[in-house]
Structure 1
Amino acid sequence: MKVYLDNSATSYPKPEDVYYSVFNYMKNIGANPGRGGYTNALEGDRIIFSCREALMELFNFDKLENVIFTSNITQSLNMILKSIIKDEWHIITSSIEHNSVMRPLFSIKEKKNIEIDIIKCSKDGIINIEDFKKAIKPNTKLVVFTHASNVVGSIQPLEAIGKICKENNIYFVIDSAQSAGALPIDFYKLNCSALAFTGHKSLLGPQGIGGFLIDEYLNNEASAFIEGGTGSLSESIIQPNFLPDKFESGTLNAPGIAGLLSGVKYILEEGVKTIQDQERELCQHFINELLNINSIKLYGPKEAFLRTPTISINSDKINNAELGFILDREFGIMARTGLHCSPSAHETIGTFPQGTLRFSLGPFNDKKDIDYTLYALSSILKGM
């Protein structure tokens, strides 16, 4: 038996139409969108247009040209942060962030005169709103938060944070790597300035495709980050300043966008709430049973409604790396060990530098997968 429980890294399996769409584009369309007026190039244009529309529907967004495609959310966050941050800015982020936020911010700090405040989250990985309010200064220009932790799944109170940002004229950028497709997201209800997403996790698309949504206020602050061919204004040596071309230089990953479109369509047809409810039920069952195993320590909220279905554990009987290895080798259970590219998050929950063993559920897991995993854990730990 094989059980895949590493959906926080990348979702697997995908809906069948995702596989077909990628293959179909490469085999039967093939052309470069935006680079020709012939039939296949125009078909590529239509697919990209349709994917922008589907993402707008999913995130309740209303500016088609402000949906930007990149290769992944790390590129998206780098493009946003490095194209907007100016000298003298005060920036607020949290201690639960992934390196895709932390590393760009501190790279910028080496080159520009900026100040970064990292708000310490609780042991469960949730930020305190009062701590956030106290951190705001007259020169606070930007807040960057993840929607949900990739280590313990904790969901941040982004609606309240976004409201405060709006009241204080602060740009608000959201990392939705762990939430897009898994949690309902309303761009305007969250009062965000930009929403970065990746296609290969809960959006159920292939690897190598991501992007971001950006409002006009933040777009006006931003400069082009990567410059080159766009298929538009080819007579000019200056990068176009209109969207999406301002941020979309070079050949887009059209097969990846075709696959992403199918993944988003699947989510829209099933309903985000339906997927969320199913995953929460499995997550709560998993948590309840883990709490009954004395030698296991569970991190993060104990209530599934406070988290995505991402569950980190350690055991006092065995190192998490060895436990993960045995689960894979002897039981066919695939989970991730270590620091998960989020050392600050592990410092917050008290698991640095050893990290944790992380199980992350997806829409194609079922109770049988969870019960088998619980059986495997119990069997291994009893033998210790």
Structure 2
Amino acid sequence: MRRVYLDNGATSYPKAPGVGEAMCHFITDVGCNIGRGGYQVAYDAAALVLETREQLNTLLHGPGSRNVIFTAGATASLNLLLKGLLRPGDRVLTTTMEHNAVLRPLTQLQKTGVEVVFLPCGADGALDLEECQARLSQGAAALVMSHASNVCGTIQPIGAVGTLCRRYGVPFLVDGAQTVGMVPVDMADMHIDALAFPGHKGLLGPQGIGGLILTGALARRIEPLLAGGTGSVSQSLEMPDFLPDKLEAGTLNLPGIYGLHAALSYLEREGATLRVHARKVGLHLWARLKELEYDGFRVTGTDDLSRRTGVVSVDFLKGDNGEMAFRLEQEYGIATRCGLHCAPTAHQTIGTYPQGTVRFSTGPFTTFEDMDYVQDAVWRLLTER
């Protein structure tokens, strides 16, 4: 049976060429730690880690390679950021379109006395900028939000929000899980103070590695979530006060970093072409599914094509979405994700709660032929009922 992988919103597949080989090389030929060994192999590994920081900082226009913190992924980065920054009595702004990687840490922090204020979004998932400005003018310890929805693919006006945050002196924290690698992100131009990202989605790297890039000013305000060995200032029982050591306790995921380095090197060569293709194929899928939209079936998210990622979620209004997703895979080999996508308030916002949606999410290796095949499969499911 034909296989069409359309769950890139969860993790990219296939990975960039060379990722597996780079990870295998570390495990079989390198194998050491960094910052803990005074020998050449350890020095060489440390140089590759530094080069990976530099690649990420260049790609995302960050404040410097030392400000790139490696974590287990975007969720770990957001927890480190939110729990290290916010204190009882603080007021934090977020939106109704967030993933649980933001919502669950904030819910935990609410129990400690942090006030969480939700900024409204429309039925297309787009943020209400006027309301955002009104809330920012009242002051906040931070505003945290996603660059794009993992549910419906709507891209938020991050640049405009960043400008407002800068105007009112509010730190701007961005969840880049759905955009980094495939949608341009410029931390300096967008006035982003902290950017959390995974390595395994748009960056085409392995699972288990991701990062956080943040300004030095914000880093000075963060209490480390983890404490432990860093290979530096070992005589002190306190965590170092400089980056990246302050926020990188313990052993780094070096196989993951080697894999991410290979993915970033591939993106340096092919990224522009891949991004153009990923955008075109995502919009092609959106257009094909919109052709089927009628009573009983709808495509969610914005119709403004300049503000869409390759995530296209649909609601089978006259059928069970779980059954439709199951049949797409069993009968047509099309892999999707069905349900609430770890974002219940987003589904409430766009009117798909509690049933959720069937999410198709394209990637840079998805083909136009696959999208036409998907349209035909969906049409068959719709017309036989």
With normalisation by structure 1, the TM-score equals 0.97
CA distance in 2, matches of 1:185, 1:139: 26
Tell me which residue corresponds to 1:365: 366
Q: Which moved more, 1:129-138 or 1:241-250?
A: 129-138
What displacement does 1:201 show?
Answer: 0.5
Equivalences for 1:76-87 in 2 at 5 Å? 76-87=77-88
Tell me which residue corresponds to 1:288: 287
Q: Is this contact kept in 1: 2:63–2:215, CA < 8 A?
A: no
Unpaired runs of at least 5, structure 2: none
Equivalences for 1:88-99 in 2 at 5 Å? 88-99=89-100
Q: Is this contact kept in 2: 1:8–1:201, CA < 8 A?
A: yes
What displacement does 1:137 show?
Answer: 4.6
Tell me which residue corresponds to 1:166: 166
Q: Could you give the per-residue CA deviations for residues 342-374 of structure 1, whole angstroms, max 9, x where no partner exists?
A: 001000000111100000000000111111111
1:100 aligned onto 2:109: no
CA distance in 2, matches of 1:232, 1:303: 50
What displacement does 1:286 show?
Answer: 1.5
Letter in 2 for 1:43: D
Q: Which moved more, 1:293-302 or 1:341-350?
A: 293-302
Tell me which residue corresponds to 1:338: 339
Q: Is this contact kept in 2: 1:311–1:359, CA < 8 A?
A: yes
Q: Could you give the per-residue CA deviations for residues 78-112 of structure 1, whole angstroms, max 9, x where no partner exists?
A: 00010111233221110000001011112111012
CA distance in 1, matches of 2:19, 2:305: 28
DSSP 3-state at the match of 2:376 = helix
Q: Could you give the per-residue CA deviations for residues 178-213 of structure 1, whole angstroms, max 9, x where no partner exists?
A: 010011111111111101111000010000001100
Unpaired runs of at least 5, structure 1: none
What displacement does 1:283 show?
Answer: 2.0
Equivalences for 1:102-121 in 2 at 5 Å? 102-112=103-113, 114-121=114-121
DSSP 3-state at the match of 1:80 = helix
DSSP 3-state at the match of 1:372 = helix
Letter in 1 for 2:269: E
CA distance in 2, matches of 1:378, 1:334: 16
CA distance in 2, matches of 1:200, 1:283: 19
Letter in 2 for 1:286: L
CA distance in 2, matches of 1:81, 1:220: 14
Tell me which residue corresponds to 1:55: 56
What displacement does 1:136 show?
Answer: 2.2
CA distance in 2, matches of 1:62, 1:143: 19
Q: Is this contact kept in 2: 1:122–1:128, CA < 8 A?
A: yes
Q: Is this contact kept in 1: 2:17–2:263, CA < 8 A?
A: no
Equivalences for 1:59-78 in 2 at 5 Å? 59-78=60-79
Q: Is this contact kept in 2: 1:280–1:304, CA < 8 A?
A: no
Letter in 1 for 2:376: Y
- RMSD (CA atoms): 1.2
Tell me which residue corresponds to 2:298: 297
DSSP 3-state at the match of 1:280 = helix
CA distance in 2, matches of 1:289, 1:237: 60
What displacement does 1:262 show?
Answer: 1.4
What displacement does 1:241 show?
Answer: 1.4
DSSP 3-state at the match of 2:69 = strand
Q: Which moved more, 1:145-154 or 1:85-94?
A: 85-94
Q: Is this contact kept in 2: 1:89–1:115, CA < 8 A?
A: yes
4+ long deviations beyond 4 Å: none
Q: Could you give the per-residue CA deviations for residues 310-353 of structure 1, whole angstroms, max 9, x where no partner exists?
A: 00001133211111111111111100000000001000000111
CA distance in 1, matches of 2:81, 2:283: 36
Q: Which moved more, 1:278-287 or 1:345-354?
A: 278-287
CA distance in 2, matches of 1:16, 1:136: 44
CA distance in 2, matches of 1:136, 1:159: 15
DSSP 3-state at the match of 1:61 = coil
Q: Could you give the per-residue CA deviations for residues 53-88 of structure 1, whole angstroms, max 9, x where no partner exists?
A: 100110012411110000011010000010111233
1:349 aligned onto 2:350: yes
DSSP 3-state at the match of 2:379 = helix
CA distance in 1, matches of 2:237, 2:220: 21
What displacement does 1:138 show?
Answer: 4.0
What displacement does 1:268 show?
Answer: 2.1
* Number of residue pairs matched by the alignment: 382
What displacement does 1:23 show?
Answer: 1.1
DSSP 3-state at the match of 1:140 = coil
DSSP 3-state at the match of 1:155 = coil
CA distance in 1, matches of 2:91, 2:342: 25
1:178 aligned onto 2:178: yes
CA distance in 1, matches of 2:204, 2:282: 19
Q: Is this contact kept in 2: 1:96–1:121, CA < 8 A?
A: yes
CA distance in 2, matches of 1:127, 1:276: 24
Q: Is this contact kept in 1: 2:139–2:168, CA < 8 A?
A: no
Tell me which residue corresponds to 1:215: 215
CA distance in 1, matches of 2:239, 2:136: 35
With normalisation by structure 2, the TM-score equals 0.96
What displacement does 1:157 show?
Answer: 0.6
Letter in 2 for 1:322: E
Letter in 2 for 1:22: M
Q: Could you give the per-residue CA deviations for residues 237-258 of structure 1, whole angstroms, max 9, x where no partner exists?
A: 2111111111111110001011
Letter in 1 for 2:119: I
DSSP 3-state at the match of 1:374 = helix
Tell me which residue corresponds to 2:130: 130
Q: Is this contact kept in 2: 1:141–1:169, CA < 8 A?
A: no
